[in-house]
Chains A and B, each alone.
Chain A
Amino acid sequence: MPNLYEQLGGDAAVDQAVEIFYRKVLTDDRISRFFDDVDMDTQIAKQKAFLTMAFGGPNHYSGLDMRQGHKHLVERGLTDEHVDAVIELLGESLQELNVPAELIAQVAAIAEGARKDVLNR
């Protein structure tokens, strides 16, 4: 049985999803301010890291890394509603790519699992 990452299409799926997801993130009034980083190439690399992780793919991030990686955002007001928004946009992006609902639910669950660390709770 292929794992979730493989079922989603692995690397190629991440590349496709990032194009759609990052556009949504940049234009969503709830969260776009967290992504105002001027360097798009760096942001895209980070979006890919995020998607790879949410897809259950190979990554080396620990819970501690997630805490440190989002600490400056928590200081800028990152809360539950922003995590909700990210998970929502992620789901919408995967829907556009015709990913079956049960796989989307699995992806959402992985992202959900990072909530406490992301919010530094």
Chain B
Amino acid sequence: MTEIIYHDAVYPLQPDETVLDALLRNGVDVPYACKTGVCQSCMMKAAAGEPPSSSQRGLKPTRRAQGYFLACQCKPDGRLIVGDAGEVIAARLMEKTPLNARVIRLRFEPESRVDWAAGQFVSLIRGDGESRSYSIASAPVRDGFIEMHVQRVEGGAISPWLHEEAEPGERIRLRGPYGDCFYLSGEPERPLLLACTGTGLAPIYGVLRDALALGHSGPIHLLHGGLDESGLYLVDELLDLAGRYSNLSYTRCVLNGASKPGLVVGDIGELLLQTAPSFSGWRVYLCGAPDLVRLMQKKVFLHGATSQDIHADAFIPKQV
């Protein structure tokens, strides 16, 4: 019997009917627009059951791996339990540690089990409902906690509160996970480019640790950019990792300062291109300042990476 289960209700499908049409026919209000598999507004996630691959066309491999599919293109073969993209959990702040003058590391204990991947991002919701997006620097399943790196933004609603007021024991809610900046196992020999600025290192650090834990064998090039050396962090730890894994290279890029081994002065958008003559066949992860992320995205695409292999999270400030 072909049927879908959505928010605990069962909807039998008529022959040749799509998941979207079945939900709409039953008066369920779900987002959609083009109904031709182009706009992706009707994206949903399968909690159980296999969505047909024809309903995952055009989605990035990271999304497909997580069971995302397009409801308007989905005619399942059997039973499919479907959900919206994202869940809400409660979490408790366990510890808070400075990483540099403007960045703190927060570790949260989730109050329910989550299968979120290192490098994805979540919406952190304070008690009063105010929320901002932060990326996950830990592997929640393996580490048992959710780690974030938060930069203090002067005059901001959430980051100064996290820096100065939130104390261990504070309870918040997290909604997610979102985004496709996470490591894909399979094809461990493919070269990886991990480039970030500022706290863009949070998701990149998550991806890196996952890649190493899962035995990535191809070269991994990590570039971390900042205005000057004081904007970087976790330097000793990353140098140590680069010393232990021969396939990992770690380059720090600063706009201002003097160069020394492992630290180059220049624009990360330019330096990036010196990593390889072509990024054809590479998997690329780009996170941090929106303008730089977009610039780097275009550059690596024009230098051979396919759009499917570029995973970018631009840290765009919330429009308030």
Instruction: List residues of chain A with CB under 8 Å of any chain B CB.
Output: 11-12, 15, 18-19, 22-23, 26-27, 38-41, 44-45, 48-49, 52, 58-60
Whether A26 contacts B36 in the complex (CB less than 8 A), given A11-B58, A40-B297, comes out as no
CB of B58 within 8 A of CB of A26, answer: no
- Specify which of A11, A22, A38, A60 is in contact with B294 (CB 8 Å cutoff): A38
* Cross-chain pairs A/B with CB under 8 angstroms, 29 sampled: A18-B307, A19-B306, A19-B307, A22-B301, A22-B307, A26-B301, A26-B302, A27-B302, A38-B290, A38-B291, A38-B294, A40-B294, A40-B298, A40-B301, A40-B307, A40-B310, A40-B312, A41-B307, A41-B312, A44-B307, A45-B40, A48-B58, A49-B34, A49-B38, A52-B36, A52-B38, A59-B36, A59-B38, A60-B35
Chain B residues positioned under 8 Å from A40 (CB to CB): 294, 297-298, 301, 307, 310, 312
Measured CB to CB, the closest approach of chain B to A57, in angstroms, equals 8
From DSSP, what is the main secondary structure of chain A's interface residues?
helix
Whether A15 contacts B38 in the complex (CB less than 8 A), given A23-B301, A26-B302, A27-B302, comes out as no
Measured CB to CB, the closest approach of chain A to B75, in angstroms, equals 15
Chain A residues positioned under 8 Å from B310 (CB to CB): 40
Which residue of chain A lies nearest to B305 when distances are taken between CB atoms in the complex?
Answer: A19
- Specify which of A12, A39, A44, A58 is in contact with B36 (CB 8 Å cutoff): A58
Whether A45 contacts B301 in the complex (CB less than 8 A), given A11-B58, A40-B307, comes out as no
Q: What are the interface flags for B24-50 relative to A under an 8 Å C-beta threshold, 1 for contact and 0 otherwise?
A: 000000000011111110000000000
Measured CB to CB, the closest approach of chain B to A55, in angstroms, equals 13
A22 to B298, CA, bound (A): 11
A40 to B307, CA, bound (A): 9
Measured CB to CB, the closest approach of chain A to B212, in angstroms, equals 28
Pick the most buried of A22, A40, A60: most chain B CB atoms within 10 A of its CB: A40
Query: B57 interface residue, CB < 8 Å from A?
Result: yes
A63 to B297, CA, bound (A): 33
Which residue of chain A lies nearest to B38 when distances are taken between CB atoms in the complex?
Answer: A49
Measured CB to CB, the closest approach of chain A to B303, in angstroms, equals 10
Chain A residues positioned under 8 Å from B294 (CB to CB): 38-40
A48 to B307, CA, bound (A): 12
Chain B residues positioned under 8 Å from A60 (CB to CB): 34-36
Chain A residues positioned under 8 Å from B58 (CB to CB): 11, 15, 48
Size range of the chain B interface in the assembly: 20 to 34
Docked complex: B265-309 residues within 8 A CB-CB of A: 290-291, 294, 297-298, 301-302, 306-307
A15 to B308, CA, bound (A): 10
A58 to B68, CA, bound (A): 22
A27 to B298, CA, bound (A): 11
Q: A23-B302, A39-B294 are in contact. List 16 more A-B contacts (CB 8 A).
A: A11-B58, A15-B57, A19-B307, A22-B307, A23-B301, A26-B298, A26-B302, A40-B298, A40-B301, A40-B312, A45-B38, A45-B39, A48-B38, A49-B38, A52-B36, A52-B38
A11 to B298, CA, bound (A): 23
A48 to B302, CA, bound (A): 17
Measured CB to CB, the closest approach of chain A to B59, in angstroms, equals 11
Which residue of chain B lies nearest to A48 when distances are taken between CB atoms in the complex?
Answer: B38
Which residue of chain B lies nearest to A36 when distances are taken between CB atoms in the complex?
Answer: B298
Chain A residues positioned under 8 Å from B39 (CB to CB): 45
Which residue of chain A lies nearest to B298 when distances are taken between CB atoms in the complex?
Answer: A40
Measured CB to CB, the closest approach of chain A to B5, in angstroms, equals 28
Chain B residues positioned under 8 Å from A49 (CB to CB): 34, 38
Measured CB to CB, the closest approach of chain A to B299, in angstroms, equals 10
A52 to B57, CA, bound (A): 14
Chain B residues positioned under 8 Å from A18 (CB to CB): 307
Measured CB to CB, the closest approach of chain B to A32, in angstroms, equals 11
Chain B residues positioned under 8 Å from A45 (CB to CB): 38-40
Chain A residues positioned under 8 Å from B290 (CB to CB): 38
Measured CB to CB, the closest approach of chain A to B230, in angstroms, equals 28
